[in-house]
Amino acid sequence: MIDIINPYRKFYAAVLATILSAVVAASTDGAITHDEWVNVAIAGVSACAVFTAPNVPYARYTKSVIAVLMAVLTLLVSFISDGVSTPELLQLVIAGLGALGVYGVSNKSADDELLDA
C-alpha cells in the first residue's frame, strides 16, 4: 500500500495546501471573496500540475518549480486585485509552505531509483 502512495506524496502536499487555503479563507471572516476563490483555484491548479509533472531523475525540481510559480501567481493576484487582506495573506503563507512541502517531500521509495528525490 505504501509503495502506491510514494509516487504521489508531492501531489498530496499540494492538495493539503489547497484544502488549507480554502479553510483559511472561509474561517477568517466567514465568507470567501472572489479574490480568495481565485487563490484557492490557483492552489488547485498547482496540485494538478504537480500531479501531472514527471517523476524522472533529469527533471528533479519540476514539481517544486511549478509549486513556487503558483505561489507567486497567488501573490500577484492579491497585489493586483485590491491589496492583500488578512485571509489572502494567510493564503500566501500557505501557498509558500505548500511549495516548500512539495520541495521537501520525497516521492522516492527505498526500492525505486527512478522516482525523483
Q: Mind listing the pLDDT tens digit for each residue in 5-47? A: 677 888 899 999 999 999 998 998 888 889 899 999 999 999 9
In a domain, 76, yes or no: yes
Q: Is residue 114 part of a domain?
A: no
Specify if 111 maps to a domain.
no
* Domain contains 115: no
3-state secondary structure of 84: coil
Q: How many domains does the chain have?
A: 1
Q: Is residue 24 part of a domain?
A: yes
What pLDDT is recorded for position 82?
82
Whether residue 113 lies inside any domain: the answer is no
**Does pTM top 0.75 for this prediction?**
yes
Res 81 pLDDT > 50: yes
By residue range, what is the domain housing residue 7?
Answer: 2-104
Q: Exposure of 34 by Cβ count < 10 A (0-12 exposed, 13-18 middle, 19+ buried)?
A: exposed
- Domain for residue 98, yes or no? yes
